[in-house]
Amino acid sequence: MKEFECRIVEKGTDEEGAFVVLDGDPFYPDGKGGQLGDRGKVNGEEVLSVKEKGVSVRVYLSHLPETDVVKCMLDVKRRHTISALHTAQHILSAVLEDKFSVVTVSFHMSEENCTIDVKPVSVSNETLERAENFANEVVFANLPVKKYFVTAEEAEKLPLRKKADIEGRIRIVEIPGVDTSMCGGTHVDYTGEIGLIKVLKTEKIKKEFLRIYFAAERRALDAFREKFHTLNAVSKLLSSGEKEIPDKVEKMLIEIKKLKKENKKLKAVLIKNFVSVLLAENGNVVKKEMDLEKGDFMSLLAMLSSEKTEKVFLLYSFKNLLLGVAKGKESGISLKEKLSGFVDRFEGRGVLRDNFAFAEFKDLELLKEALSYIKDELSG
Ligand SMILES: [Zn+2]
């Protein structure tokens, strides 16, 4: 934190809360030039946000200070990260444009991400990697980042990346041999302070732009650390070296697919066997506990309802809170008539057809009540 004293030139409250305007505007505003704003403290009060309103910069606080001269603390670590990300963007955009004719359309920085939207939308990974290499060579060369003011006339003669009609003094940010831009944002003094520029991922936006996510300085370290942790965790789970992970996962996926196929076949055989067992049971109403998963439970009911038998099957699973009824093709009863309203009555979720009924229950008690009710109805 950098500490300094500052005079308040205005204070008040607007729709966003209590604010002060400080002499010389030491806090950079949120969102200006696509950047994040500064944070810190004013007389011990946390800076909540910093907004540019007309010609003044309002610093929002929970409480207004009583004195006219305040002690300010600026979070310089945060400022440096923001400045490094912003300068990294200048370099990345310049390299992409000069060496690969990929033009930056916009830049965005948030607490989580830093992105540039570029045109054309199709940029190969190889091109991106080459651009990343060039950009990092600029970082490693530790070039000065010059900031100075010129007149509109002088600006005309500069090799500016983007020209804009600005009157009066124009602020120029120049990295010699790399980039000359009009910019009012915060930047580092030497490119080496950026540490590293890393492209993290890309995303196509409406088939029009390519959004490039990148990190620099502490955020590049954070991104690397996060990926390192993830990779370590996966490597541990698979008991394999990092480089072997893709091969191992591919083999596992093939194995899972094979097992799923086998499992499906075995289940079909099992359910067919259940049908035979249930058909061999005595009596016209067969009541049986079947601890099957929902899908298998329903398959069994469907198969039973297509059997040529007079029997009615009442199946349930206490474990999975399922209940089902199926009647054979030769049974004369109508489940719809006999069991009308049973699903709602016991707060279940399910279906009731003429030859087939099924419900899931919230708890065991409701299932047991429904079971006893249906048993009575079917034998009545
Ligand atoms: Zn800039």
- Which amino acid would we find at residue 8? I
The C-alpha angle 284, 289, 292, rounded to 5 degrees, equals: 120
Distance 146 CA to ligand 1 centre (A): 11
The C-alpha angle 124, 126, 131, rounded to 5 degrees, equals: 100
Strands 103-109, 114-119: pairing kind? antiparallel
Determine the pLDDT at residue 90. 96
**3-state DSSP assignment of residue 298:** helix
Identify the CATH assignment for 262-379 out of 3.10.310.30, 3.50.50.60, 3.10.20.30, 3.10.180.10.
3.10.310.30
The C-alpha angle 332, 340, 299, rounded to 5 degrees, equals: 70
Distance 156 CA to ligand 1 centre (A): 19
Distance 183 CA to ligand 1 centre (A): 5
Distance 350 CA to ligand 1 centre (A): 61
Distance 86 CA to ligand 1 centre (A): 6
CATH topology of domain 79-236: Threonyl-tRNA Synthetase; Chain A, domain 2 (3.30.980)
Distance 166 CA to ligand 1 centre (A): 16
Got the DSSP string for 260-283?
HHHHHHHHHHHHHHHHHHHHTSSS
Distance 126 CA to ligand 1 centre (A): 27
What is the model's pTM?
Answer: 0.74
Distance 219 CA to ligand 1 centre (A): 18
Distance 85 CA to ligand 1 centre (A): 10
Q: What is the dihedral of CA 174, 180, 181, 182, to 10 degrees?
A: 70
Distance 108 CA to ligand 1 centre (A): 12
Cross-sheet strand order for the sheet of 17-22: 45-46, 40-42, 69-74, 2-14, 17-22, 56-61, 49-53
> In the chain, which segments carry CATH 3.10.310.30?
262-379
Please give all residues whose CB falls under 5 A of ion ligand 1, grouped by chain where several chains appear.
183, 185
Distance 89 CA to ligand 1 centre (A): 8
Q: What is the dihedral of CA 175, 179, 185, 186, to 10 degrees?
A: -30
Distance 342 CA to ligand 1 centre (A): 69
Determine the pLDDT at residue 158. 86
> In the chain, which segments carry CATH 3.30.980.10?
79-236
> In the chain, which segments carry CATH 2.40.30.130?
2-74
Q: If we measure between CA atoms, which residue out of 243, 128, 145 comes closest to residue 197?
A: 128
Instruction: Give the whole-angstrom CA distance, residue 12 versus residue 175.
Output: 41
Instruction: Give the whole-angstrom CA distance, residue 352 versus residue 356.
Output: 6
Distance 33 CA to ligand 1 centre (A): 8
For residue 310, which phi and psi values (nearest 5 degrees)? -90, -10
Per-residue pLDDT of the chain (380 residues; tens, 9 = 90+): 899 999 999 999 999 999 999 998 999 999 888 899 999 999 999 999 999 998 899 999 998 988 999 999 999 999 999 999 999 999 999 999 999 999 999 999 999 999 999 999 999 999 999 999 999 999 999 999 999 999 888 888 888 887 767 777 889 999 999 999 998 889 999 999 999 999 999 999 988 999 999 999 999 999 999 999 999 999 999 999 999 999 999 999 999 999 999 999 999 999 999 999 999 999 889 999 999 999 999 999 999 999 999 999 999 999 999 999 999 999 888 888 888 877 777 777 888 888 889 999 989 999 999 899 888 888 76
Q: What is the dihedral of CA 126, 127, 133, 136, to 10 degrees?
A: -140
Residue 313, C-beta contacts closer than 8 angstroms, at least 6 positions apart: 278, 286, 288, 301, 304, 324, 325, 326, 327, 328
- 2-74 belongs to CATH 3.40.640.10: no
Distance 123 CA to ligand 1 centre (A): 24
Distance 177 CA to ligand 1 centre (A): 16
Distance 87 CA to ligand 1 centre (A): 6
